[in-house]
Amino acid sequence: MKSQDIRAKFLSFFEEKQHSIVPSAPMVLKDDPTLMFVNAGMAPFKEYFLGNAKPKNNRITDSQKCLRVSGKHNDLEEVGYDTYHHTLFEMLGNWSFGDYFKEEAIAWAWELLTEVFKIDKDILYVSVFEGSEEDGLGLDTEALEIWKKYISEDRIITGDKKDNFWEMGDQGPCGPCSEIHVDIRSAEEKAKIPGKDLVNKDHPQVVEIWNLVFMQYNRKANGSLEALPNKHIDTGMGFERLCMVLQGVQSNYDTDVFTPIIKEVEAITNKTYGKDEKVDVAIRVICDHVRAVAFSIADGQLPSNTGAGYVIRRILRRAVRYGFTFLDKKEPFIYRLVEVLDKKMGKAFPELKIQKQLVENVIKEEEQSFLRTLDQGLVLLNRVVEETKEGTVSGTKAFELYDTYGFPIDLTALILSEKGLKLDEKGFEEELQKQKRRSRAASEMSTDDWTVLIEDDVEEFIGYDALEAKVKLTRYRKVTSKKDGDMYQLVFNLTPFYPEGGGQVGDKGYIEDAYGDVVYILNTKKENNVIIHFTETLPKHLNESLKVVVDEKQRHRTECNHTATHLLHQALRSILGTHVEQKGSAVHSKYLRFDFSHFSKLTEDELHDIESFVNARISGKIPLVEKRNVPKEEAIADGAMSLFGEKYGDTVRSIQFGQSIELCGGTHVKNTADIWHFKIVSEGAVAAGIRRIEAITNDGVKGYYTENNRSFQEMKGLLNNAKEPVKALQNLQEENANLKKQIESLLKDKAKNVKGELKSELTEINGIQFLAKKLDLDAGGLKDVAFELGSQFDNLFLLFATEKDGKALLSCYISKELVASKGLNAGQVVRELGKFIQGGGGGQPFFATAGGKNPGGIEQALAEAKNYIV
């Protein structure tokens, strides 16, 4: 069965059992600060498990893109070396939110595997949680009894907390789980060791394919467990591993998920897969990593220098490195694999199909820039090799190459060993640990349990209509971090505060109680669908009604910028073309920033047209038409631009200003006229094929013009209030250029005169014409004079000095004949006399110069010169 059909069959099986099929959420989630990437199918549904929101259907099925490259789940180092762990993989899941539980979950998993997919029961094993003393939990007999209905008891094993208890994080929903394993070894191998003994022992052909999690507890901050009021099912099956089983192969890479990509790598690199282990590892790494990187970019996470973007950059660099070292690819080629990847997966994941060109461009440029880094690193490393000659290169040096220049340690080790040098790996490891400790210490954080004052499941947001409200505090907690100190997080029964999201900053403002006590709200954020207000202290009277007030001025300025962002988006698509896609935005009170896909620098004319387009809509006084809670499909049918990065169940709100219609949760002005004016302040590149515009509106523009006018007036004042300041300035520039020319020719004349005077000042000592003197000439002048004089004598020794801008300069001229007959050396003279002016220099035996920072030493240097010839 083809992989496409396997995926489709899984989804339709659960659809028949009343599950809604939902698309994969993007891999970078918007409002979950605890996760860098979605690393399990359940991550996008956390708010349902936490009870912060309710899904439309409490049975869902999906294939979720997961990335396990950081934090608790990190399989990166395995990838390429084994045949069944990937960075990006698809997790097939079926979900029950407070609906069915163990009985159905187990029955259906069994039915699907053995009846629909017809997997031989004799290759399956299942596991059950054995219990844990520290948590006061016993064997999961409930699951065991159900399993016994389907599979013989000798195929059921028990597992400990590590393998059979699933936790979302340090806190939150958790529960026991049952894993399903397959044994796909040959009959011969099976005869040697029973499969049961190999379960969970990292055997490449005895692997876990499916994990059924039974969420029934909540882990509290103090580590204790409490029963969840609603029990949930969360299952995750590795799609690529399932394909391996159903296609009868021994490695995920031999399934049709990977073979077309491998073929393409073979064609590009002229290498063959399956002959040499080192080459095979490299090919697997590349085929795996291109998927992770391509989908991250398609989901809006571009490679960068920080956070999630940095992780993506490192994955791509790992692939480049393996290509560079083991496949001899010294030029970009990974981007060329996007084509096959799109053919294979673009249908199931349209985000890739639509953005293919962008993905290719970004990958290509990243490859190019890293290959340049590798080149530079090789130069630096060669220098280290030369300095070391023999023995061991210190861990500190290797760490510097790694940390400062991004030069990978395994490559360093490889090159050193080729040169017969050793690397102090322990020293390197120590440096690495030191750095890790430093960054960990900086980000340490502890979060208390919520103190619940009022049980109130979902808090209401009223910020589209109101800026202040009477509210009640429903819960709060303290968060302590090294970086920010103590902060309180407050949740109210309702709130007008807009939480950071959709690019727009969170509202600020204050809380006031009936006695006039005020606490400032410093920021507002959303976490798993709960709106959290950040304060430095708690309000004094927690249990009374409180007034909360949003900072109106900041909110209004932000709204002007947000609406302008929509108009800018519309302008870009009408002026540059519909290939323009939003790639990110930041809407602050002081400015707005908009990133979009486009392949060349914008011209002055284009920028001007874009500004005019937006300003025409501002003066057109277009009113806001807002629709809340419309089905996404309906909004898109109305012409709303649909953005990737929405996940299932997001409330859809459409914002329309004339022809501009977008799905947006942000806050906006009531009429475009409020924006007053729009001005672009910068345009530039962020990455290959991605441009960024920064712009200002309203008060920002007023401030901008006031400031510009002020400096213009100041400049006019300096130009004696000339009627035509531009002309006056041009005149000044012209005058300046003429003066420069005049000075140059004057200096030349002066040098000529000086030469005449100097000739008369020469004294003869021991048959040598000698002069040591400070002159008022520049470096070029000193040289000219010396060489002019030199052409007239063959027994000349000159030391000239000059002083300019607090710096000293010496220049020494010795006739070539003297150099030969007396063994004199101008280079040596300036080096030695240079110490008086605290400097150094050099040159040739007949002419040399030295610069120094102590003009006070000139006299002494000149006085010493005679010693060379007496």
Give the residue with the Cβ less far from ligand ATP, 93 or 463: 93
Q: Tokens representing 536?
A: 């430095």
CA distances to 772, 799, 817, 826 from 788, rounded to whole Å, are 16, 14, 16, 17
Cα 572–chain centre separation: 25
Smallest distance, Å, CB 40 to ligand ATP? 6
Sign of CA dihedral 198, 202, 204, 209: positive
Give the residue with the Cβ less far from ligand ATP, 91 or 532: 91
Smallest distance, Å, CB 240 to ligand ATP? 6
For binding to ligand ATP (CB under 6 A), which residues are involved? 40, 68, 75, 85-86, 89, 91, 207-211, 236-238, 240-241
Residues 6+ apart with CB under 8 A from 555: 467, 498, 507, 589, 667
Burial tier of 371 (Cβ tally within 10 Å: 0-12, 13-18, 19+): middle
Q: How many alpha carbons lie under 13 Å from residue 715 in its C-beta half-sphere?
A: 13
The residue sitting closest to ligand ATP, measured at its beta carbon, is: 238
**Contact (CB, 8 A) for 851 and 839:** yes
Smallest distance, Å, CB 180 to ligand ATP? 8
Smallest distance, Å, CB 256 to ligand ATP? 16
What is the β-pairing status of strands 485-492 and 473-481? antiparallel
Give the residue with the Cβ less far from ligand ATP, 178 or 563: 178
Give the residue with the Cβ less far from ligand ATP, 196 or 866: 196
Give the residue with the Cβ less far from ligand ATP, 236 or 332: 236
Cβ count near 257 (within 10 Å): 26
Smallest distance, Å, CB 77 to ligand ATP? 11
Give the residue with the Cβ less far from ligand ATP, 127 or 667: 127
Give the residue with the Cβ less far from ligand ATP, 208 or 299: 208
Going by the DSSP 8-state scheme, the letter that residue 82 receives in this structure is: B
Give the residue with the Cβ less far from ligand ATP, 322 or 333: 322
What residues does 172 pair with on adjacent strands? 219
**Contact (CB, 8 A) for 103 and 143:** no
Cβ count near 417 (within 10 Å): 11
Residue 300 falls in which region: left (phi positive, over 0), alpha (psi -120 to 50) or beta: left
Give the residue with the Cβ less far from ligand ATP, 43 or 782: 43
Placement of tokens 């609603």 in the chain: 230
Which candidate, 177, 149, 183, 150, places its Cα nearest to that of 163?
177
Return d(Cα 620, Cα 804) in angstroms, integer: 62
**Contact (CB, 8 A) for 77 and 558:** no
Give the residue with the Cβ less far from ligand ATP, 240 or 360: 240
Phi, psi of 512 (to 5 degrees): -130, 135
Which candidate, 164, 175, 179, 174, places its Cα nearest to that of 129?
164
What is the β-pairing status of strands 422-423 and 392-393? parallel
One-letter amino acid for residue 328 of the chain: D
Phi, psi of 537 (to 5 degrees): -135, 170
Give the residue with the Cβ less far from ligand ATP, 208 or 527: 208
Smallest distance, Å, CB 203 to ligand ATP? 11
Smallest distance, Å, CB 595 to ligand ATP? 31
Smallest distance, Å, CB 207 to ligand ATP? 6
Placement of tokens 């009170």 in the chain: 589
Smallest distance, Å, CB 562 to ligand ATP? 39
Give the residue with the Cβ less far from ligand ATP, 46 or 85: 85
Written in H, E and C, the secondary structure of 770-829 is EEEEECCCCHHHHHHHHHHHHCCCCCEEEEEEEEECCEEEEEEEECHHHHHHHCCCHHHH
Q: Tokens representing 135?
A: 């948590």
Return d(Cα 522, Cα 451) in angstroms, integer: 20
Residues 6+ apart with CB under 8 A from 270: none
Give the residue with the Cβ less far from ligand ATP, 258 or 326: 258
Smallest distance, Å, CB 445 to ligand ATP? 25
Give the residue with the Cβ less far from ligand ATP, 234 or 662: 234
Give the residue with the Cβ less far from ligand ATP, 237 or 618: 237
One-letter amino acid for residue 846 of the chain: F
Give the residue with the Cβ less far from ligand ATP, 64 or 825: 64
Smallest distance, Å, CB 111 to ligand ATP? 18
Give the residue with the Cβ less far from ligand ATP, 168 or 423: 168
Placement of tokens 């970009």 in the chain: 332
Smallest distance, Å, CB 401 to ligand ATP? 30
Smallest distance, Å, CB 126 to ligand ATP? 12
Smallest distance, Å, CB 122 to ligand ATP? 20
Smallest distance, Å, CB 668 to ligand ATP? 42
Beta strands in 401-496 (DSSP E): 422-423, 445-447, 451-452, 460-461, 468-471, 473-481, 485-492, 494-495
Smallest distance, Å, CB 86 to ligand ATP? 4
Placement of tokens 């059921």 in the chain: 156
Residues 6+ apart with CB under 8 A from 165: 129, 132, 174, 175, 176, 177
Residue-level length of the chain: 870
Smallest distance, Å, CB 166 to ligand ATP? 7
Cβ count near 820 (within 10 Å): 11
The angle, 0 to 180 degrees and rounded to 10, between the axes of the packed helices 338-345 and 277-298 is: 70
**Contact (CB, 8 A) for 6 and 15:** no
